[in-house]
Structure 1
């Protein structure tokens, strides 16, 4: 199997992730977010356990020596999920998807501040371009020409945007933790403990008005869990066949899926500002990834040349 297999799995994973969010959006806030996350975790962990068993055993697959790292990843990921699901009560699926594109930009900022990583000028420029794209996206929600524009709808939209941005920031924190865990833990263990933690924390909201899901609601909850678990498996498999840097640009295919699903199933057309801004953010992100990839290849080539020259001198 080649890198094209990894790319295909990545694209299918973004579709699965978008379908999961579409199920949440379809609930239209009829059930508490904590209850939705519980079902997403409970149902989602089942295909994950089957996959872990197939890969060599559940116990072996979830072994960990880094509880602290998993707690950090789980906390950031859980907060991201709560904010993301809450935002879907106020803004469209496409808007929520597009605003989440800010996560890689926040990751660069966190990597520079928290991990003390050296960030090159071209990455800072891509971050700047990305934030310009975010401002364009937000302009459709936050531009108020006067008091007459300050309506309940505009306030709700602003709340949704704020929640989506908070989700993106928490996602960036989770990505930093995953980067830290990747060299020490198996992908299956990272996925399992995250899912287990979201399920456990969701139970804390049980006293706050959980309701028995009815008919279509139950189907949407099951769909949310199934697609959530499937997404984690597909993402893990995709990285077996291709480098993360090659796969990263295909994260942005989720915008296409969200537009298609929004039009066909939710009867919602995206705003022009959302499409323009999201396209700019996507281009900035893709440029950053490709630039870093070229830089690593150049560094590897220089290192190889240096070793070769050293070997020649030694031979002489």
Structure 2
């Protein structure tokens, strides 16, 4: 039987990705504001997942019901959930400990760590081009942080780098899951399974809040859920190589949102470092695209046996 061609609407996919990135920026900056109102980071994680769950369930129902999310790889989904929660926790903490623009910019090192992990764990061939991009990206981090200047708390920088590293690790697991599981299946099981550890932890950190703080938690959950759905939907209409560059608009949104909540405008070194990191990430993505399109040279010798 002839397989149905995958729809390709790049402009629509780019629009979805931009909406997702904007929603993620709102979510992360709101996490920072909520922490200033006494919200524990575990609470932010819990409500981010719990309030997104109804949207995920509605989406699953419209897609054909629970039969569409059946899986035989629940163990891999559980591992992805724990890694994903750890990455989300570190990302939330990075926005609490660092100004939003700087936290977002350091988070752009994720493709750099992805390259390193692919070479070390997956044994993928990595040439001088991508290793050079990795070096340039780390120089960009040094330009932003300027360890001698003490502009930012070192623990915040360490958390942001750890968040990028864990997120890159999650991308390797997602690559493996993607061989057998649809994106909607992965999103569903991540959201549902994450409620187990978060539900266990909540009694130890849950507390009463005023109306404004509950509103902040609602924003975290709703915008996080919308972002998750838009990220997934964008990949139905265009490949990763088309929509990935849109992620770098995060620096614009987080800068504007940061200024809106009273943060200072990022320093010149932040913009210079961001240029190096973004350039590095885009070059790595371009090299991946080139490698994916490179024709496979088949041996003229017939297989034996």
The normalised TM-score by structure 1 is: 0.86
Partner of 2:43: 35
Taking the TM superposition and a 5 Å limit, the aligned residue runs for 1:99-138 are 99-138=106-145
Partner of 1:314: none
> Are 1:11 and 2:18 matched, yes or no?
yes
Partner of 1:312: none
Deviations 1:185-238 (A, max 9, x none): 111111122122333222332343321221111111111011111111101111
> Are 1:46 and 2:42 matched, yes or no?
no
Partner of 2:198: 202
Partner of 2:4: none
Query: Over aligned residues, Cα RMSD in angstroms?
Result: 2.1
> Are 1:79 and 2:86 matched, yes or no?
yes
Partner of 2:303: none
Q: 5+ unaligned residues in a row in structure 2: which ranges?
A: 1-7, 300-305
Partner of 1:95: 102
Distance 2:295 2:242 in 1: 17
Q: Could you tell me whether the CA contact under 8 Å between 1:37 and 1:199 is conserved in 2?
A: no
SS in 2 for 1:184: coil
Runs of 4+ in 1 over 4 A off after TM superposition: none
More helix as a share of residues: 1
Partner of 1:309: none
Partner of 2:32: 25
Note the C-alpha offset of 1:267: 4.2
> Are 1:158 and 2:154 matched, yes or no?
yes
Distance 2:292 2:117 in 1: 21
> Are 1:274 and 2:273 matched, yes or no?
no
> Are 1:55 and 2:63 matched, yes or no?
yes
Partner of 1:184: 180
Give aligned pairs, total: 292
Deviations 1:111-130 (A, max 9, x none): 11111111122111111111
